[in-house]
Amino acid sequence: MIRSTTPDDSIALIALAEATGLFEANQLDEVSEMLADYFGGNSDSDRFWITDDDGGPVGVAYCELEPMTDRTWNLQLIAIQPDRQGQGRGATLLRYVEQTLTARGGRVLLVETSGLPEFDHVRSFYRKCGFDEEARIRDFYKAGDDKIVYRKAIGTQA
C-alpha cells in the first residue's frame, strides 16, 4: 500500500535509506533533516513524501518542485528495503510519484544519481522506467564521482 508518509515513519525511513548502502552518513543526516523540516510545519504543496507500507515502511520517495521553473519536479530520494528490491516495488512507487505529479500539473521529472559503478543498477532502473540521461557533471560529488541527471516528461503538457 502506498500512502503519505507520517512523522512516525521517520526512524524507519532513515534506517531503510541506510540499509540500501547507497547513502553516506552525511547524506543520511540530510534525509533526517528533510523529514524533520517537512513534519515541523514547513510542508507545503511544493514537496511530498510517500511510503510503500507492507506491515511497516519498505519503500520511500521524496519529491520537490524545482524553484524558478515551470512545473519541473526533482525526485530527491527513492529507496526500497534491500530484501524487497527486484519485486517491482520501486517501479510502482515511481509510477505513483508520476501520477501524483501529473495530477498536480507537473511537466518534467528529474532525478540525479552517482556515476560510480556501484550505482549501475540505479541508473538501469531509471532507464527501465522511461528516463533518459540528460546531463553528466564530472567530479560533482567528489573526484571521480560524476552526477548523472535523468529526465522524463510527465503529464500532457511536457
Per-domain residue ranges for the chain?
A: 2-153
Comparing CA positions, the residue from 7, 67, 54 lying closest to residue 34 is: 7
Query: Global pTM?
Result: 0.90
Please check the confidence at residue 158 and state whether its pLDDT lies above 60: no
Asked whether 91 and 99 are in contact (CB, 8 A), the reply is no
Looking at the DSSP bridge assignments, the partners of residue 151 are 110, 132
CATH code 3.40.50.720 for 2-153: no
Please check the confidence at residue 148 and state whether its pLDDT lies above 50: yes
Task: Classify each residue of 84-116 as buried b or exposed e, where b means 16 or more C-beta atoms within 10 Å of its C-beta.
Answer: ebeeebbeebbebbbebbbebebbbbbbbbbbb
Say if strands 108-114 and 47-53 run parallel, antiparallel, or are unpaired. unpaired
**Where do we find the cell 532525478?**
111
What is the mean predicted confidence (pLDDT) over 32-40?
Answer: 89
Cα separation, 95 vs 78, in Å, equals 12
Q: What is the overall mean pLDDT for the chain?
A: 92
Cα separation, 129 vs 67, in Å, equals 25
The model's pLDDT over 79-132, given as tens digits with 9 standing for 90+, comes to 999 999 999 999 999 999 999 999 999 999 999 999 999 999 999 999 999 999
| 105: region left, alpha or beta (phi > 0 left; psi from -120 to 50 alpha) | left
Please check the confidence at residue 45 and state whether its pLDDT lies above 80: no
Q: How confident is the model at residue 157 (pLDDT cuts 50, 70, 90)?
A: low
Please check the confidence at residue 43 and state whether its pLDDT lies above 70: no
